[in-house]
Structures are given as structure tokens and as C-alpha cells.
Chains A and B, each alone.
Chain A
């Protein structure tokens, strides 16, 4: 009798297994399609709106495509033109964002490369504690930093200048930058550097001739990553630059103009595309390395 119940249980179990397998097989593609939709549709919607004339959008707001007849790229001209020519001045914003972004990349890398090298290779007092200290910075609310920096910059008259913003950004990214670069330096075999040192090269020579060229892929991707952070940043740009329109970054410009009723939504959508597109391109260029560099060590749990 016991074998009979065991068999029944076994059958019930097999059936349960079969049902679960089947349900999951149906569910999986549905879930994947849904996830792609929630990730992509907002950006698609952005693109579509930027090409549709405003009247058409107001008449049929629910359309997720544009017909060739209504295709209208004039929003892009409008948003890029300077304010004097009746546009929104995004060209100036792009220039500002590029200046701040590239400046942040150069300065951060100049600071972070030796720092990462030191943390990875050299024994010095406090080396082990330094990473923990840098990391702790990131758990402070940035609004906590906003208060004193706002006051400080107002006082020394740097508020409103792109230059002042640059230093805030460098301070914000340098720890992450050191962390990522150190992970890469750690993977370069030390024997290469030792061989060069035995051949009589000084430490700086070793660094320049051996370590830096080997770490170049990581340095380039790290630079792209820093650029993306600076390009996307909003809080400090708002805090420091809001009163100086000629110094607005793209992020700040879009947020400020979207508050006014005078600028058509479709024009601002073109602005959103201009803001987003470089980031998406850079992301796909550096994606493989970035995700690897960020999750390094995470697989250990």
C-alpha cells in the first residue's frame, strides 16, 4: 500500500513539475518582452514626439509612431538656435556641457591615475584605510554638501562659473574612478614592472612605459564613464548656474525650459533627444567594460 501512495505522490509531483515547466516557458518570453517595453518605450516616445508637429500631438496623443507626412525635424533647429535668433540656445548648452565634461575627465584622470596606482601597487601609511574613507563619501547625502558649497561659492564669487562646477564634479567622481582603475591595475601582473625595474627603469618610467599603456583600455572607459556622470549631473548645476543662462548645461537648460509654458513640448523633446543620445552612444561603446569593471568582485557575493 505504501508503494501505491508513493507512486501517487510521484505522479502528482511529476505533474506539478510539468505544469511549472510549462507555465514558466510561456511566462519567460512575456516577461522579457514586457521588460524591454518598459525600458525602451519612454525613449521611443521621446523620439516620436520630437518629430511630430505639436498640433498633431495634441489631437492624437496616443500615437507611438509618426507618418512620413507629419515628419517634422524643425524642432531640432528651433531648440539648437541661440536665444537671440528665437531659438532655445541648446548649442551653447552643449558647448558648456562639453567643457565641463571634458574638463572633469581630464582633471579626474590626472588625479585618479596616480592615486589608483598607489593604492594598487605601493605600500604606504594608511593605504588600506583610504579606500574605505573614499567610499564613505558616497553615503553622505549630496544635499549635505550642497549647503556649504553653495555658501562657499557665493562667498568667493565662483557661483555661476563653469570652473567652480568642475571641481565639485572631480571631487564627486574621483573615488569611483580610483576604485575602478585600481581593480584594473590589480589584474596587471606585477612581474612586468619588476622586469623593467631590474633593467634600471625608475618608478615613473615604469609607470609611463609599462603600466599606463597596459591600463589604457580601462583608462579610456573610465574617462567615458566620468564624462557620462558630468553630462548627466543636475543638482550642483542647478544650484550654481541657474542664474546665468549663458552657462547652463544641457541638463539644466532642459529642466529650466520645461518649467515654462512658452516652449512647445515637441521642441523640448528634441532637446531631450539631444541630451540623451550622446549618453546612449557612449554607453553602448563602453558597455562591456563598464559593466565588467563595476561588478568586478560582486560575483563573490
Chain B
């Protein structure tokens, strides 16, 4: 679990309107009110300033510094000589954007984020619907379904890689014993395997699919949690009316439940996409970025810690953030309005 637990509808309460005028000051003299307001403003700033300082020092300034570093040719060793005013150059970006490795990593990141998000949302939706009607022990089941999300990623990744191990992993043991696999599958170290479906041999990117499955497993609880909250808040009346009109369960889902879930799904898909796009831990722990699973975040890490090439690492991280920003803006442009309408 990371800090990514933020609700999709954040900020909706900002308009709550607890201004100074709403207080008991109404009807008193104007001067007294403005004195009170000034005092309130001072206290407010004093209360929020520790947060502002720590965010400024630990988040805002570092990001600005990344921008500066990305435009310099700089390695960790010659850091002492580097100041704010260095030799600015576009070389890092040129090198990054023209290298095949970066573009490949970007494509991998995109595939990982899109499919990881889609599967997580799909499973989360199925789970939320399956647990919609009350039954004994539902509360416990709900809590248990959140386990993959709250468990430490390091432990989860270790269990998965043990279970998927070709020599002593349980998955390959069962696959060979029960499902008749001819040989063990190297889930985490095989770039691609031939899969025969209906006599057709199709090449599938084994390791990439495995890390996508891991991502779906780890984050479906997040979608489940928010879809459940939405379902609980849904009024029964429409569905009851539809039952009287003779709508079948699937029709009721298609025409009544799903349209009401749509805005939540839209927000969830953005959030999950962003976090998966930025994800480092899961892939680093499962494959180390090998076997065709190198995403940009892992690549940045390797440039930073193995090559000490700070300039290139910063440039790639910035390009990653920029692409993410563009994708999110395009999404909001395309779908933002329909969300308001829904």
C-alpha cells in the first residue's frame, strides 16, 4: 500500500462555505468582524504553514530541481561542481527520446497501465455486484477482499514469485499435475511463449501478462471499495420500478445500475491509470524489469542507481510525468463533460 489512497471525489467539500460570515459575527459591528477575520486568517496560515513548508521542501523544490538536472549533463560523481547555473543542454532529452530502450519502456508502461487498470476495474465491479445483496458474514468477506491491497507489496510480490517458480512453485506443480501442462512455465522470466488456442499458436508476452495480473490482483480491492460505496448509496426505487415493468436482472444492470456506476468507474479508471503508470515497486520486485517488463519508472531507477546518470534519469522521469499529464488532460477533455452530465 502506498499513499495512493485518496478518494475519487476529493475536493467536493471545498464548497462547504464555512466563511467568517457564517459564524456568530453576523450583525455585530463591521470593525469587530474584520478584526476577527484577520485573526482567523493569521491563525489559519500559522496552522497550515508547517504542512506548506514540508511540502515545499520535500516535494515542490525537488521537482523544480529535477527540471534543472534534466537539462544538464551530470553524473553523481561530479555533483559537487554542479550549481543552479550549469551548462544547460537538451542532450539528455535528445538521447532519451531517440533511444529505442526508452520508447520500448514507454510502450510497456502504457500496456501495463491500460490492461492493469481494465482488469482491476472489471474484477472490482464483479466483486461489488456479487456482494451487493446482504448475507451472513458479508462484512468479513468485504474486509478479506481488501487484503491484497493493504498487504505490504514486498511480501505479496515474494509470495507470487515463489508460487510461480518453475521448480518448486505451487502454480506450476498444479498446472502440470491437474491441468496437464507439459512443462513448467517461467512466468516471470520468459519474454514470450507460444500459446495454442483452438489449434492456433499465438505468441504471448508471458512476463508482462504476469505483472499485469499481479497489478489487477493488488488493486481490484480499491475499485471494489469505491464501487461498493456507490452501490450502497443508490436508491432502490428505480430498480423496483424496473422489476414491476418486467426487466430481467441483466436488463436492470444494463439500463439502471451501470449508468449510475459509470461516473465512479470513469474516475476510478483515471486514478488507477495514473498510479499504475507511475508504479515502480511491483515490477521491480517481480521481474526487476527483465523479460520485456521494463517500465519507465524501473528504467529511471536503473539509470539513477546503476549508472549514476542523473541527467538522463531526470530527463526520463520528466518525460514520464509530461506524458502522463497530457494523457490525463486529453481524457478530461474527452470525458470530463459527460461526467458532469451523468
Contact = CB atoms under 8 A, between A and B. Distances in A.
A35 B225 contact: no
Contact of B300 (A36, A43, A146, A174): A146
A194 B41 contact: no
Interface string B166-207: 011110111001000000000000000000000000000000
A239 interface: yes
B54 A111 contact: yes
A151 B79 CA distance: 8
Given A43-B151, A175-B55, A294-B225, A151 B14 contact: no
Contact of B248 (A16, A111, A141): A16
B63 A140 contact: yes
A233 to B, nearest CB: 7
B108 interface: no
B54 A167 contact: yes
A285 B324 CA distance: 36
Nearest to B277: A141
A255 B82 CA distance: 34
Contacts of B174: 62
A42 B250 CA distance: 33
A301 interface: yes
Given A279-B151, A294-B7, A32 B62 contact: no
Contacts of A46: 155, 159
Contact of B50 (A114, A168, A203): A114
B110 interface: no
Interface in B240-264: 246, 248-250, 260, 263-264
A57 B168 CA distance: 7
15 contacts: A35-B145, A122-B43, A125-B45, A132-B11, A132-B14, A143-B278, A148-B65, A148-B69, A150-B304, A255-B285, A283-B146, A284-B143, A295-B7, A295-B229, A297-B10
Given A124-B48, A171-B55, 6 more contacts: A42-B163, A119-B48, A144-B63, A154-B76, A174-B54, A176-B5
